Amino acid sequence: MSTELWIGLAVCALALVLGLLAVLAPGFLNGTRRLRAPGQTRADALRLLGDRAANVTDAAMQRRGLSFVTIDDLELAGVRMRPGGYVVMLAVITTAVALVGAVVIASTGAAVFAWVAYLALVIAVPLSGRLVLGLLTRKRRARFADQLDDTLQLISSGLRAGHSLARAIDAVSREAESPTAEEFARIINENRLGMDLGEAIMRGARRMRSDDLAWTSQAVDIHREVGGNLSEVLDHVADTIRERNQIRRQVATLSSEGRTSANVLMALPVGIALVLSVVSPHYLSVFVTTPIGWVLIAVSVVLFVIGAIWMRSITKIRF
């Protein structure tokens, strides 16, 4: 590799690191020394730059009514960032990828197909931000579902000890693991602001897409109407949820081979195309230099999407 290429790659990498630090990493550079109140931390220059960029991005998104990512999306995914900061981070990563890719392709003299793949990659980077949030949200909801049976046992124990339901839920919000602690803290805060406790639990069930938590909300409402031993009811609900979780884990284990095969089959054509674009770019140049080549690419993309949907429907088991 030439010296110019190494310099370009170093500059791009430095820009990426500084950009991420500006948004995510506090304490990298110290700001101006001044008197501070006890406990007040010192703002650093890059942190202030990142906050300013996030504020400008938030304001621009609000003025234009854009909703690429919302605060609810970030909270569900467990990402402690503002929408503007997340968009700025994606912009920095996209810029770094674009610069590095342009330097590499220009220095190697790649074919037209490599430039097409490069443009597709640059477009895919910001779009992958939504996919990452969706993946994190699904994992967070899955952890919440796995913890719910133990959570109900903890609430039931608090009720048997003489605490009220709100007090037992507050104890869960302080003692449980994430994400259960955050979600039940939100439930108890909504109740303190005047919302009915059953409705707050149902809102949490809709937010986490948890049928099990919805059953808990219904059990609370029924207990208020007809009375009875709520701790015993919650014990029965927890036992049912525990059995459902065992079945869910067993189904996931049995279907893991099919999901792995589907992922390999989906990644194989993309990987082969990328390898050929580097090893033998002239072999793929016919696809972007002739009309029939573009037609074949369009047909391949359509079949690729159909196959992805088909394999996903086969490997996704509902019960």
How does DSSP assign 220-273, residue by residue? Answer: HHHHHHH---HHHHHHHHHHHHHHHHHHHHHHHHHTHHHHHHHHHHHHHHHHHH
pLDDT of 184 reads 93
Residue 179: cis peptide before it, omega within 30 degrees of 0 = yes
The number of helix segments (H) and strand segments (E) in the chain equals 14, 0
What residues have CB less than 8 Å from 10, skipping those under 6 apart? none
Please, what is the end-to-end C-alpha distance for the chain in angstroms? 55
CA-wise closest residue to 106 among 94, 117, 115, 97: 115
Residue 30 confidence (pLDDT)? 40
b/e per residue, 54-86, with b = 16+ CB within 10 A?
Answer: beebbeebeeeeeeebeeebbbbbebebbbbbb
Compute the distance between CA of residue 173 and CA of residue 188 in angstroms, rounded to an integer: 8
Q: How far apart are CA 113 and CA 272, in angstroms?
A: 13
CA atoms within 13 A on the CB side of 70: 6
All domains of the chain in start order, with CATH: 3-31+40-110 (no CATH), 140-253 (1.20.81), 256-315 (no CATH)
Residue 145: burial class (beta carbons within 10 Å; 0-12, 13-18, 19+):
buried
Tell me the whole-structure pTM to 2 decimals. Answer: 0.69
In a structure prediction context, what are the per-residue pLDDT tens digits for the chain, which is 319 residues long?
555 555 666 666 666 656 555 555 444 334 444 444 444 444 455 566 667 777 777 777 777 777 778 888 888 888 888 888 888 888 878 877 777 777 766 666 555 556 666 677 778 877 888 888 889 999 999 999 989 989 999 999 999 988 888 999 999 999 889 899 999 999 999 999 989 988 999 999 999 988 889 988 888 888 888 877 888 888 888 898 888 888 888 888 888 888 888 888 888 888 888 788 777 777 777 787 888 888 988 899 899 889 888 888 887 766 5
What DSSP state is assigned to residue 60? H
CA–CA distances in Å: residue 179 to residues 3, 28, 143, 199, 254: 49, 29, 7, 20, 27
Per-residue pLDDT, 205? 92
Q: Which residues contact 218 (CB under 8 A, 6 or more apart)?
A: none
